[in-house]
Structure 1
Amino acid sequence: MPELPEVERAAGVIRAAAKGRKISKVETTEDTIVYTGTSHTEFAQEITGRTLVDTGRYGKVFYLLLDGDGRVPVLHLGMTGAIQVRGGEALYYRKKPKQDPNDWPPKFMKFILHFEPLEEGGEITEIAFLDPRRLARIRLCKDHLNEPPISALGFDPILSMPPIEEFQEKVLKRGCPIKALLLDQSFSAGVGNWIADEVLFHSAVHPEQTAKSLSPEKIKLLYRNIEYVCKTAVEVNADSREFPSNWLFKHRWGKGKDKSTLVLPSGEKASIKWITVGGRTSAVVQQVQKLEGASKKAKKEKIEDDTESSTSELTDLGDDTEDEEKKRKPAKGKRKAPPEPKQSRKKLKRSGLTQVTGQLTLSS
């Protein structure tokens, strides 16, 4: 799912292409799931003829500031949402569908904004919002920062990081795994699966470690690395090719492969293990991230995140959706095994282990 840096990039693309331009026309397609609290026709009518003053972002949500007294578009990319300027490629998160950028309107389009040129004789700019899996959300809000979904979100690591004392107090109140807490959008808005894993890796904290059991030193590391990871990713415009070579992100996508690409400072090959924490697949470097008090199970606590959150109203937007679909679908070319007798049926714990190598310097 697009996280804080990818959403910042989407807002920046629209700003660079259309700031100061008037919306002359809006093309839409009907979608009663993606359009929330409004219809596609109402959306088009309310924003046509208005000028884009600027764009903004909070957490995983971004918005278009328009002139006039009407409501403004508040957008969430969901899991597979993307922005595409006509003539360029769609900015999908990681995997891109096979699609010719010259095909227009693009497949899975929800709306296309037509912006008038700034100068007479210039070209109209067209920007599309698309989503293959219909997990994105399109809203119109009157007071976008003070009403849902933004009003229900926690601190933004770029825009509103709290003082360390307040951060520590919030962490020590929770008895859930720290990975689950980081994914809770009412705690840290914009932090998703890969950012949480990156932060925990650089902080040498195991994702299953109970939040309230963390030492003040570990909490300070988490605080510092939440800012570090988010700001660094934003500075390179969410281009993963520009991420530091010692980041876990560079090595987390080859689950099940034996390629070695990551080496610890000691020269030892790093072992990456995949576990499920807070409903998400989590990458753990076993030599670095030790679970303290492993004999005690972390207290289970319900986490309000953007998967099924009544607080944020960003429903069906969980990072684990893809993982769950893979579990339900049998692999190609393999026949589904018949179910075992009820008496002998057991729950199987799934885990994976991969060794990878490269250069690593833990930030502190």
Structure 2
Amino acid sequence: MPELPEVHGYKVYIDSTSLHKKITALDCRDKRLLKKPLVDFENALLGESLTETVRIGKYLFLKTTGPKILIMHFGMTGRPNYYKDPDDRPRFGHIVLTFENGFHLAFENKRKFGWWELVDDIEDYRKETNLSKDARELSLEEFKEALATRKTDIKKVLLDQSVSAGVGNWMADEILYQAQMHPKHKVKDLTEAQIKSIYDAMKHIIETAIEHDAHYADFPEDFLIHNRKEGATCYHTGVEIEKIKVGGRSTYFSPKWQKL
């Protein structure tokens, strides 16, 4: 599933291809991906241009020359695809914007968990949906405050988008691996030093992933992502990586490196 670093890459991609071009057509092959009627999107987008993108966690907000803001959420397999020849429309490009220069922006969405929405204000939407500030922008104090009333497993809390918007499953595992923290460690039992260690690991992983365009093979060799499967070898200890369920999500950790 696209997480913060991947969606950051999508933002950069759209910024470099699709802004400041008048939208002349909108084609949607599956209206279930639209949170509002198709006519609302046509009224909001046709004849307008995309002017700016803003990312909060896994959500990408696209401002327009009109009053509405388009939200793209990429679900499990979504991604943008900018192309010219209509014959190059990707197989799973279920929604396509066409620009006056003849190019197209497809919203690829193989498993159809992604969606589009229209809103009037980004901050209002963030508050209404209980999103935290983007995890990349969170201060240590804001992170501490978000954890203050939590009592459950740290892995489960890291996945809560009201705590650290943009952190998904692989990132949460990586954060806890880098911080040497067991995924079932209770938040209420964390020390100040442990909270800072988790926060620092989160920031390090976000910046590293963005620096490498979320291309996992280029991540530092001590990252769990290279061995994130059951039975693989922990970089630090040589013991086998274990797989458990935390909050209903598959979770990978090193039992000797991340002791409970």
Query: Which of the numbers 242, 245, 252 marks the counterpart of 1:276?
Result: 245
Number of matched residues? Answer: 260
Matches for 1:10-21 after TM superposition, within 5 Å: 10-21=10-21
Cα distance in 2 for partners of 1:224, 1:13 equals 28
SS at structure 2 position matched to 1:270: coil
Give the aligned partner of residue 263 of structure 1: 235
Give the aligned partner of residue 38 of structure 2: 40
**Aligned-residue RMSD, C-alpha:** 2.1
Matches for 1:65-214 after TM superposition, within 5 Å: 65-69=63-67, 71-86=68-83, 104-117=88-101, 124-147=102-125, 151-159=129-137, 161-162=138-139, 164-214=140-190
Cα distance in 2 for partners of 1:10, 1:198 equals 22
Cα distance in 2 for partners of 1:31, 1:166 equals 38
**Conservation of the 8 A alpha-carbon contact between 2:126 and 2:132:** no
Cα distance in 2 for partners of 1:140, 1:13 equals 21
Cα distance in 2 for partners of 1:171, 1:148 equals 19
- The letter of the residue matching 1:111 is I
The alignment-based identity, stated in percent, is 33
Cα offset for 1:188? 0.8
Cα offset for 1:207? 0.4
Cα distance in 1 for partners of 2:164, 2:128 equals 12
- The letter of the residue matching 1:17 is T
- The letter of the residue matching 1:146 is D
Cα distance in 2 for partners of 1:233, 1:251 equals 16
Cα distance in 2 for partners of 1:278, 1:203 equals 20
Give the aligned partner of residue 258 of structure 2: 289
**Conservation of the 8 A alpha-carbon contact between 2:79 and 2:107:** yes
Cα distance in 2 for partners of 1:200, 1:166 equals 19
The runs of 5 or more residues in structure 1 that have no matched partner are 88-100, 118-123, 292-364
Cα offset for 1:171? 1.9
TM-score (norm 2): 0.92
Decide whether aligned partners of structure 1 residues 167 and 249 sit closer, same or farther in structure 2, where only a CA change above 3 A counts. Answer: same
SS at structure 1 position matched to 2:202: helix
Moved over 3 A (4+): 101-104, 148-151
